[in-house]
Amino acid sequence: MRSKILIIAGPTAAGKTKYAAALAKTLNGEILSADSMQIYKYMDIGSAKPSLEELSTVPHHLIGEADPMDEWSAALYQREAKQRINQILLRGKLPVVVGGTGLYINSLLYEMDFADSGANEDLRKELQYLAENKGGQALHDRLKKADPLSAERIHPNNVKRLIRAIEVAENGEKGIPPLSGSLEKNRDYDPVLIGLGLKREVLYDRIEKRVDAMMDAGLLDEVSGLLERGLTKDHNSMKGIGYKEIAGFINGEYGIDEAVKQIKQNTRNYAKRQITWFRRYEDMKWFDLTNVDFDQSLTEITEYIRSKLYTHSEQGG
């Protein structure tokens, strides 16, 4: 029998953290983050980690556990997340997967064997030739078409990572395949998928205000501290939105106003890509949180989840 899990997804700043904490408490669940930045230690403000109050409400997993010096990947996430899900199920709790990193969620929903992806030598030679003759930007442009989310995280000068990302994307392990049906669903889980969204103008306004709040909360000091630890723009953790722009300011590339402007624009662009990604999930039930009462909408969402958890013919964990 497949095990029931709840997945709560949506664009950044839509309200996932607040709703997830309340839902997990109501449904006897534990939260498993699916956020590629919240996994890192010392990166609290820019990654919009849950507050200490929210973290104390219900158990949280894969938040602040990885050293930002280390490379964290979807393969590592998949392995660790599946272990945590099994442990949560053994405790008789509901795994509540929450986040906006589409590839992380894909790694749980679909059969994605990162270990066996291997290297396509012909493709690798082609990409190396492309890099040598047309430069890293040509690789970056190709990756944008295959996997826009990865392209956002990888610098055009990082040829090695660009080649690997293109290999993975063009081998059909992520990106468009779920929509085309070429990825097989993971038979271990029976997921209930929830999408939380806002009207675009409301979402963008919330993003603007959240970036301002991050600056007021000390994002500049947080990034300075990371640079003092020896982190550079080449570390994967420092490519996150908020960190790369402030690092650019600290390194004298532009002023602080430009850095904040870039964070807001890059966050809006990222939110658009997230919405596009999650709209591909045919089984996802979307809830518009624009101008709604929190308690009332929480009740509505909870009732929907309960109907899916307890009326499916296939009962699990």
CA distance 110 to 188: 10
Domain-located, residue 316: no
Residue 128 amino acid letter: Q
- CATH number, position 103: 3.40.50.300
Residues 180 and 110 occupy one common structural domain = yes
* Last-in-domain residue among 155, 170, 185: 170
* 58-62, 73-77, 175-179, 285-289: least confident range: 175-179
Domain-located, residue 86: yes
Residues 96 and 161 occupy one common structural domain = no
Helices (H) and strands (E) in the chain, counts: 14, 6
SS3 at position 197: strand
Residues 199 and 268 occupy one common structural domain = yes
Residues 162 and 202 occupy one common structural domain = no
Residue 211 domain boundaries: 3-114+175-311
| Domain count along the chain | 2
* 105-114, 208-217, 243-252: least confident range: 105-114
Residues 198 and 217 occupy one common structural domain = yes
- CATH number, position 129: 1.10.20.140
Matching residue, tokens 């190396």 = 128
Residues 226 and 97 occupy one common structural domain = yes
Q: For 104-138, how does the pLDDT look when each residue is reduced to its tens digit (9 = 90+)?
A: 999 999 987 765 445 567 787 788 878 877 888 88
Residues 143 and 82 occupy one common structural domain = no
4's enclosing H/E stretch is strand 3-9
Average pLDDT, rounded, for the chain: 89
Domain-located, residue 317: no
What is the pLDDT confidence band of residue 160, given thresholds at 50, 70 and 90?
confident
